[in-house]
Amino acid sequence: MEIEKNSLKKFLKKDFLYRFLICLFFCLTLFVCLHFKEVKMDILEPGTLANRFIVSQVSFDFLDEEGTIILKQKALSELGNIYKIDDKEIRQASFDFAKYLSTSQNIKFNNEEILSVAGKFERLLMQTRFSDVKTIEKMNQLDLEVRHYVALSATAKYQEKEILPQEYMIYFAKRLLVLEEGLTEEKLIFIANYFANFAFDLEIDHFAQNNLRKLVENSVHQKYAKVLAGEQIIAQNESINFRHIAMLKAMKNAINAQRNLLDPYTILGNFLLSLAFACVFILYLKVYQKKILKSLTKVSLLVCIVVITMIFAKIIEYMLLKSTTEAIHNIRYPIIVPLAAILIAILMNNRLALFSSFVLSILFTETLEVERSSFLIVNFSASLIAIAFLKTLHKRTDIFGIVGKSFLGIIPLTLTFDLINRTFFLVSLLANLTASLIFLFIIAVIVIGILPALESIFNVLTDISLIEHMDPSCELLRRLALEMPGTYQHSLVLGNLAERAAHAINANGVFCRVATLYHDIGKLMNASYFIENQRKVDVNLHHALSPQASAALIIGHVKNGEILAKKYHLPKPFIDIIKEHHGTTLVYYFYCKAMQCFGEEYAKINEGKFRYPGPKPHSKESAIIMIVDAVEAASRSLTEFSKQSLEQMINKIVSDRVLDGQFDECSINLQELLIIKKTLVENLLLSQHLRVKYPEAQLSLSNS
């Protein structure tokens, strides 16, 4: 006894330690969410009117895009045009020069030598560009190649198709003399004088000019403007522009930079606030969800879902804040809370999901940089709609339909907030609605992806997975239908009765219906020893066995069922039903038979060998299945099927199990037992309804 007490104390200490660690983890996660929150700023949209004055809280520098544009425009205005000589005109002049050499008799130079020099002169003209002195100086500042650039006269006003002055040809000749070795000045002057007779046109080199403008534009440094603390940023009723938004962003960054996250008062305050949120959850669970609070697994699951939602919220906030796209940055109320609402409703219950949605909506309103009233109402409304329609959830893909209904529900709210905030523009409305649809779609994908993992880790059986276990094509149910049609039929009838009885006392009817399909799978090991699987022509195999051996075979289907359930990887709640659906009841028929065999020495009978190993039912669902299993089997043996006979039979079965202490370890009460008995009577009577008897004459007519 002392050893048992010590082990109990150790267990309680261990359980308390786990709960403390879970609570501490939850508080620390909330603390991180609260402590490292973004600075709250007014969310304004370009084109709207400011409803109040906005003053700078700190001194800051901001990127003045308008000023930067002005600087770029000024730098570009100082650039002149870049000209070149038309290549066709240069080639034509070269052709004429060659023709002149071939016809002239008074030239003292060798024709081949002079044509070679003329070719170099031609290439120089094609490479040369003309511009004003300022433009060439600017190119020098940018370390650009200006070797082939020639400065035009400052007084000349050159336009496209202007004629190049003749004196430039002598300049080119002297320049070529410097660039090329082995050339004589005499030959170059001869060529230059000839080319000076041509009136070359200048045309703008658009390619070189555009490249230069881009380089100059990129070389202009961005302009930053200084705003002092207390200086007005936006006046009341002033039209909001992108400059105002840039100033607000810069002010927020400056405030973030000045925040001292290591300040002990700030740390203590945020930790106390996180502790307050945790206490709200604990208080609600203690008052309204005692069963969940008692379960370490369910508390861990709740904390896990809330933490996942907080991580999702911070990721969304980070993406929105770091985005450089104005359409994304101005999303005012991202949809986040329905993620927790849907997961809690599916894995736990709707009431807890509703409460959690409300608390998380308030928490995220305080910690995220969102438009407060809009975010809170839209997120809570979307969660409420999702929870309401989760009753129609039968398979995982139905979640997309549920989030679609949530989206339809928040359309009027989005329109309302746009009208209230005077931001009703078609583009703004479509942007917010599109963002809401995308967020809800992402939530649906996350739920479908994460739900099986949470079910497996925390050993939770949801209605979705229950319905999946009802698939008659699964191997175990196919074996039941083929090898034990009697037991399978019994399980189907039992499932319908158990589901209705469970619904009557607000227990899990779907679980009862599905679990009963598997509660007798242990009979597969010895199917022919159970009467529902014996045909009338069969010999009852129990006639050849002693009462003790028969009882052992009957009782053995519980242990065999547990073995098969583990082999086919059935969920643990199903295994619990297999073990508990007979509790520790007596195999009464064979016990009485043994008493007859022993006669007056019946006291020598070991009653324990005629009792199921248990355990007793630990849940209302297990108790319901125990009652319905016994009632359904006994109802088949009734000679007179009436309401009175049913009531007497059911009352006796339930009373025997109450007196035998079978319901001592579950939370079912007498009032619920009365409701179950009444429900079973009504449904069994309906299942045995009478059919109209056709007259003999009518039958003969129909046969003819």
Give per-residue pLDDT as tens, 20-61: 888 889 989 888 888 777 665 656 666 677 767 777 777 877
What confidence tier does 112 reach under pLDDT thresholds 50, 70, 90?
Answer: confident
* 204: its two tokens: 């703008």
Mean pLDDT of the chain: 82
pLDDT at 154: 57
For residues 22 and 4, the model is more confident at: 22
276-285, 541-550, 555-564, 651-660: range with lowest mean pLDDT? 541-550
- b or e along 60-87 (b: 16 or more beta carbons within 10 Å of the residue's beta carbon)? bebebeeebeebbeeeeeebbbbbbbee
Q: What is the pLDDT of residues 467-510, one digit of tens each?
A: 888 888 888 999 988 889 888 998 999 999 999 999 999 898 99
Q: What is the pLDDT of residues 544-570, one digit of tens each?
A: 688 888 888 889 999 999 999 999 989
Classified as helix, coil or strand, 131 is strand
**Using an 8 Å Cβ cutoff, are 128 and 202 in contact?**
no
In SS3 terms, 193-215 reads as: HHHCCCCCEEEECHHHHHHHHHH
Query: Does the pLDDT value for residue 419 go beyond 80?
Result: no
With pLDDT > 70 as the criterion, what percentage of the chain qualifies?
85
pLDDT (average), residues 374-396: 88
Query: Does the pLDDT value for residue 10 go beyond 60?
Result: no
pLDDT at 679: 93
Per 3-state DSSP, what percentage of the chain is helix, strand, and coil (rounded to 5)?
70, 5, 25
pLDDT at 324: 53
Cα–Cα distance between 571 and 460 in angstroms, integer? Answer: 9
* 109: its two tokens: 């130079």
Query: Does the pLDDT value for residue 697 go beyond 90?
Result: no
* Angle, alpha carbons 300-301-305 (nearest 5°): 120
pLDDT at 387: 94
93-107, 403-417, 482-496, 634-648: range with lowest mean pLDDT? 93-107
Q: Please enumerate in sequence order all residues whose Cβ is within 8 A of that of 531, keeping only pairs 6 or more positions apart, or say none.
A: 486, 540
pLDDT at 447: 94
Which among 385, 300, 299 is positioned nearest to 342, based on CA atoms? 385
Cα–Cα distance between 573 and 589 in angstroms, integer? Answer: 29
Terminal CA-to-CA distance of the chain, rounded, Å? 82
pLDDT (average), residues 456-469: 84
Query: Does the pLDDT value for residue 373 go beyond 60?
Result: yes
Q: Which of 1-5, 119-123, 298-302, 690-694 is predicted most confidently? A: 298-302
pLDDT (average), residues 235-244: 76
pLDDT (average), residues 168-197: 75
pLDDT at 703: 38
Query: Does the pLDDT value for residue 459 go beyond 90?
Result: no
pLDDT (average), residues 68-79: 84
**Using an 8 Å Cβ cutoff, are 507 and 669 in contact?**
no
CA dihedral sign, ordered 129, 134, 135, 139: positive
Cα–Cα distance between 672 and 506 in angstroms, integer? Answer: 10
Cis peptide upstream of residue 412 (ω within 30 degrees of 0): no
pTM, to two decimals: 0.63
Query: Does the pLDDT value for residue 521 go beyond 90?
Result: yes
Query: Does the pLDDT value for residue 644 go beyond 80?
Result: yes
pLDDT (average), residues 381-388: 94
With pLDDT > 90 as the criterion, what percentage of the chain qualifies?
29
pLDDT (average), residues 223-232: 77
Sheet holding 162-163, edge to edge: 149-151, 129-131, 83-85, 201-204, 162-163
Classified as helix, coil or strand, 611 is strand
Write the DSSP assignment of 492-542 as a string of letters: HHHHHHHHHHHHHTTS-HHHHHHHHHHTTGGGGGGGGGSGGG--TTS--GG
What confidence tier does 3 reach under pLDDT thresholds 50, 70, 90?
Answer: very low
**Using an 8 Å Cβ cutoff, are 208 and 129 in contact?**
yes
146-160, 515-529, 599-613: range with lowest mean pLDDT? 146-160
May I ask the CATH class of domain 465-687?
mainly alpha
pLDDT at 95: 85
Q: Which of 248-262, 593-607, 649-663, 681-695 is predicted most confidently? A: 649-663
pLDDT (average), residues 532-545: 69
Q: What are phi and psi of 694, to 5 degrees?
A: -80, 140
Query: Does the pLDDT value for residue 522 go beyond 60?
Result: yes
* 72: its two tokens: 């770029």
Domain boundaries of the chain, sorted by first residue: 83-217, 289-420+434-449, 465-687
In 220-368, which residue ranges form alpha helices assigned H by DSSP?
A: 242-258, 264-288, 290-294, 296-322, 326-329, 338-347, 350-367
